[in-house]
Structure formats: C-alpha cells, structure tokens
Chains A and B, each alone.
Chain A
Amino acid sequence: MSAEPLLSIRDLRTVFHTDDGLVRAVDGVSFDIGRGETVCIVGESGSGKTVTGESITRLIRTPPGEIAAGEIVFDGQDLTALSDEALRALRGDRIAHVFQNPQGALNPVYTVGWQIVEAIRLHEDVSKGAARDRAVDLLDRVGIPEATRRFDDYPHEFSGGMKQRVSIAMALATNPDLLIADEPTTALDVTIQNQILSLLDDLQTEFDMSVLLITHDLGVVAEVADRVVVMYAGKVMERGGVFDVFEQPSHPYTRALLDCLPGRGDGAASIGGRLPSSTDPPAGCRFHPRCEHAVDACREGEQPPDYAVDGDDDHVVSCVHYEPGGDPSVVRGGGDDAGSGDAVDDDGGDGRGSGAVGTPPADRTLRAESLGDDGSDADREDRA
C-alpha cells in the first residue's frame, strides 16, 4: 500500500502471567491494515489470533494479560501509549468489535434496542429519541425484519444468526473506521454463515471501513480477504495478498492448512501433532516439530525472520528455506516453482507431490520418528 495504513502493528508481544508460567500468546506479530481493506488472520485455535485482535483495543484482561512490547499505530496514534481513558473513547467509536459467540455477546437482561442505544450514546451526545431512530435504522440495515417492533425484544427472543446481526448493528452504531470481527460466523450454522459474511461485505463498502477478520476458515478467507496473515503459536508464519498466499502458499504451515480444506480431490487432511506448549515453546521455528521439511537450522535459535517470497516484499514468510540463497523448492516440492502455483484450483495436488504437509497415512510413521528426538510433551502425547 502506498498510502499510510489505517492500522499498523509492529512486533506486538502480548503475554499472560499464569500459574504455569509466562504464556507468550502473541510473540512479535507485525502487519498492516489499509483503509477500506479486509485483512484476515488465520490459524488454529490457540495460535494467538484472538489475543492479537483484542490487544489492539486492550480488551485483554490485565492482569493476567499484558502488552509487553510493540507498537499499535492507529491513524497515526500509538494505542499502546494511550491512556485507558483515551483508549476507551476510541473503543466502540472508531474501532468496533464483533465477537464469536452471539449467544453470549448480548446482555440477557436488556433489550437489544437498549444495548444499541447504549453504544450510540456512549460516544455521541444525542437524545434518546434520535438514538432510538438510528438504532431501528441499524437493525433494519443488518436485516432484522420488523426492526421497530423487535427493538424492544430481549436477546433470548432472537435466533443465533439474528443475534449476530444485532451485534453487528451495535458495532456499526458509531460508524467505526475499523471493525474487528473475531470468528463472527463460527458459532453459526453454514447457511447463516454465508448471510453474515455477505452482510459484512456489503456493510464494509457502505460504511467505508476496514475489517480485521479473525477466522480459522480458509474458505472464508478466500471469499472476503484482501490480505492474509497466517499465525501459528503466537508468531506470523506467512503474510501477503490473498492471491499470493493461496496461489503461492510458501510456509509449510500455510500449505498444511490449505490441505485441510475439504472437497479437494482426496478429501480433507489434518495436520499431525498439536500446538506446542504455550509456556515453553520449541526453539527455532515454532512449527518445526510438526513440519516435514524441518532441518537442523529450524530447530535452533529464534523464529526465522520474514523473508520475501520471490522478491515480493508484500508477501513474506518466516521459514529458513526462503532465506537468501536458500532453496524454497524443498517446501514447494517438485523442484520447480511453477508447480506450486495453483494450490487452490488444483484438484489433486500432484504438482506438490510429496511436498504437501497434509497427512497421507504412510507419512505418519515417518514423521513420528522424526519427532522422536524432539521429546516435547505434545509429541509424546501424539505418539501415545
């Protein structure tokens, strides 16, 4: 992006002080969100996606949580340096949130109208009547039938999808610049998911806002994202434009995630192993215990720095195979880069061949052996 991004996160580190030790939930995450852009953070549960989203407006509980380092520059202001008071004025006004579980996101003892009016009147000095009119408009806009009548209904009188629409209406009440939507469709059934996604898409254009969409669903990403941030165990594995990441998936983890998409020839695969211990992550690349392409360089030191993929600074990957002079074909397989160019449309993945991280059964023993010398808890459990 040539223009100044709306939100720029640099080396964000959010930690939680727990009884088991220090959990580095977000460990050096950097990415930008341009104006009017949709950025998706993808990753497994526990990869730090949600904490990243909630760190932006400091919604995480402190203590035990703490934003230990990093910059969050929103429209020229560093939010980490902002006072609680100033940040509160920003929350819900310029940066709004929609959460995963619409069942729990609305207060059960107030009418939905009351809750939307509250969102408006917390930031704008408008009369109750005017706020009510706006709330009804918003309910109407997000597709609640008979909005005027439903204004005085309680959350339990709405279905899950309708509740999520109400949540979205509430988030849009003050016309925010940035909407952070944390898995807004995960708790909903599939038909409703699409409705909510296209609603978000329409509203983004209408309200001219940027959206940070947190999801584990790559199908959703492919549909709505402009750019993608792939997270794993608190680190950014790969980030870039949506076409680059899907057509040229570069990090072994991204490739493994793509293999988990169902309905691509031989069905959905799963990634063997599990997330590393959050209090005692492995040295080197966080993904190496589950990575087929791990070499000695992956197992020592820190997470590799961001290397540009094919010389493109907007598409970076944190993998030793991409360091200058390295051989990316180890990951992409087949020796020629061209073969990896069509991961999404590809029906069988023959171009990637054995390079894919998804789990053909024959590979299981091989990986288990290679994991053996690592000896972390997760691996032991995986083998047991």
Chain B
Amino acid sequence: MRWYVVRRVLWAVVATFLILSVTWGLLAVTPNPAAEQMQFQAAASGGSAEAAEEAFEARRGLDRSPWVRYQEYMTNMVTLNWGWSQSRSQPVIEAIAAALPYTAIYSVPTTILSILLGLAIGLYSATNQYTKSDYAATFFAFFGYAIPNFWFGIILLLVFGVQLGWFPVVFDSDIPFFSLGMARQLVLPVVVLVTGTIAGVMRYSRAEALEYVEAEFVKTAKSKGADGYRILTRHILRPAAVPLMTILVGDILGIFLAASYLVEVVFGIPGLGQLSYNAILAQDTSLVLGTTLIFTFVSVVGNLVQDVAYTVLDPRIDYGDR
C-alpha cells in the first residue's frame, strides 16, 4: 500500500510537470500582444517594426533558444518565481497569496456544508424513498442544480441585500477574517454555492445509498439486530463512501472552482476567481497563468487524495502490483 501511494504521488508530480510543459509550449507559440503593440508603435512613428520586435525580444530574453527559455521557465515555476503582474504592479505570487484567503474563507464552509447537508439529505431520501420528504429533497436538489449560480446570487442580493437589507451588498475586505461581520457578508455567497453543489452530493449519495439499502449485507445487518442508525452509518454509508469519493472530490472541486469566478465577481469578493477574471480582462498573461495553475494544482492534489482515499476505504482495491 505504501508503494501504491508513493507511485500515485510520483504520478501527480509527472502530471504537474506535463501540465507546466504544455502550458509553456502554448505560450511560446502564442503571439505576444505587448510585442505587437511595440511593433505597431514603431511602425506608426516611422521606425522599423522588425527592429522594435528584436529589441522587445532581447529585453524579454526571447532571443535565446527555446530550451534555455524552457529551463528558466521551469526553474521559476518550481521556485515560485511566477513573474510580474503588469495590471497589479506586484509579483504574481504575491497577488495570489493575497487573494487565496478570500477564496478559502467562503469555499471551506461551502465544501463542509455541502458534504454534510448533501450526505444527510441524500441518505434520508434513500431510506425514505418515494415519500413526500424524498420528493421535496429531490425538488430542492434539482432547483439548486438547474438555477444558474450567478443569477441566483444577483436575485439573493436584490432581495436580502437591497430590499430587506439583512446582508451587506458590497463585500468589505477590510473586515477582519474571523468576525461576525465577515460571517454575515459570507452568508449569501455560501448559500448560492451550497445550493449549487449540494444537489450533486445529495443526488449521488441518494443513488449510492439506494444501491446498498437493498443490499443483502444490509439485510444481514438487520437480521443481526443492528438498529437503523448503525445500519445507515456502518452498513450503508461506509461502503457507499467508496464511489462517493469520486463525486465528493471531483465534483466539488470542479463546481466550486468554476463557480468561484461567477460568485466572486457578483459578490465582489477579492479572491482567486476575481483576480483571474480581472487578469484576463487586462490581458495580464503572467497573472492569468499563475491563477490558472493554482486551480490546476488543486485538481491534481484533489485527484491524488481521491486515489489514496480509495485504497483506505475499499479493501477490495488491489494495490499490490501497481
């Protein structure tokens, strides 16, 4: 098992390496807007466009061989020297470090809430299949699933922020992190994200649990005299946790990373999503690259966690010779 985990970790490193290399390759063949601007200016003022381009490349070190540039790029990546953000006039890594806590402060409660609530509602639905409360939970799940996050966020802001005035409309990043005021302004974004993610968790956990509600070993457990709670947690949830891992890690990561763009922009939270969004608008290549890579790394680590979790959760997975 230790060998299996080591191999999984190595694979994660290889995957990261490949992602970085491909990204570099794409960047290397993409025309640089800054260089084009230089050429245009040079041509407009009567100078030579080629000379301007060469000067630009020499200044940026682009006249060196691709191999040298690639080596330098990889070294910088590993040493967290991710370049200079032109739009923010600060190192990329600093901009990311400043934005990360704001993403974490709403995504951590969102993840915990959607897993806990999603599992609880899903299991309840599975054990009370085709009852009124099951239908209500299903309706709630599909509502959350179908409604666009950003639109739902705007509506909530209008109703609870503008009309009722219960929650602040504009996110105030000066409020200390662990305070009531912060909690208050996080309510709406968390509600919006949870309604989106809870649906998936709830439907999947319902489906997986249903598979086991009827299982023979659940009948065995009942015939042994186990009570309902024990059957649910030990004999239904525990085996269902294996396939659920895929959903919990993959789905939640995917949904909340994608959703963070929309929700941060709508609610004005200065997190990674907004940083990335503004970087794209400003054509700030280094910053776009930096923020995108953060999301990529989170996915790689998420998948690694998932692979390792499988082996812990399911004794049938053979990790002996892989």
Contact = CB atoms under 8 A, between A and B. Distances in A.
Contact of B316 (A59, A99, A105, A154): A154
A99 B216 CA distance: 8
Contacts of B220: 97, 99, 105-107, 167, 170
B252 to A, nearest CB: 22
Contacts of A170: 220, 224
A156 B225 contact: no
A118 B226 contact: yes
Contact of B238 (A61, A96, A109): A109
B315 A109 contact: yes
Nearest to B230: A122
A304 interface: no
A96 B225 CA distance: 9
Nearest to A57: B223
B316 to A, nearest CB: 5
Interface string B283-314: 00000000000000000000000000000011
B315 A92 contact: no
Given A90-B225, A122-B226, A123-B225, A156 B316 contact: yes
A97 B226 CA distance: 13
A321 to B, nearest CB: 40
A20 to B, nearest CB: 15
> Per DSSP, are chain B's interface residues mostly helix, strand or loop, or mixed?
helix
Contacts of B221: 107, 118
A40 B62 CA distance: 87
Contacts of B217: 104-108
Interface string A154-166: 1010000000000
B219 interface: yes
Given A105-B217, A109-B315, A156-B315, A91 B223 contact: yes
A228 interface: no
B258 interface: no
B154 interface: no
B219 A99 contact: yes
Nearest to A106: B217
Interface string A108-125: 111100000011001100
Contacts, number: 75
Contacts of B223: 57, 59, 91-92, 96-97, 99, 171
A109 B224 contact: no
Contacts of B219: 59, 97, 99, 105
B314 A91 contact: no
Interface in B231-247: 234-235, 238-239, 242
A118 B224 CA distance: 8
B130 to A, nearest CB: 9
A97 B235 CA distance: 17
B222 interface: yes
A295 interface: no
Given A59-B219, A99-B219, A108 B224 contact: no
Interface in B177-222: 214-217, 219-222
Contact of A92 (B224, B238, B316): B224
Residue from B214, B217, B315 with most neighbouring chain A CB atoms (10 Å): B217
A107 B316 contact: no
Contacts of A32: none
Interface of B: 214-217, 219-227, 234-235, 238-239, 242, 313-316
Interface of A: 57, 59, 61, 88-93, 96-97, 99, 101, 104-111, 118-119, 122-123, 154, 156, 167, 170-171
Given A88-B226, A104-B215, A118-B226, 20 more contacts: A57-B223, A59-B223, A91-B223, A92-B224, A92-B226, A93-B225, A96-B223, A96-B224, A99-B223, A101-B216, A104-B216, A104-B217, A106-B220, A108-B316, A109-B313, A118-B234, A119-B224, A154-B316, A156-B316, A171-B223
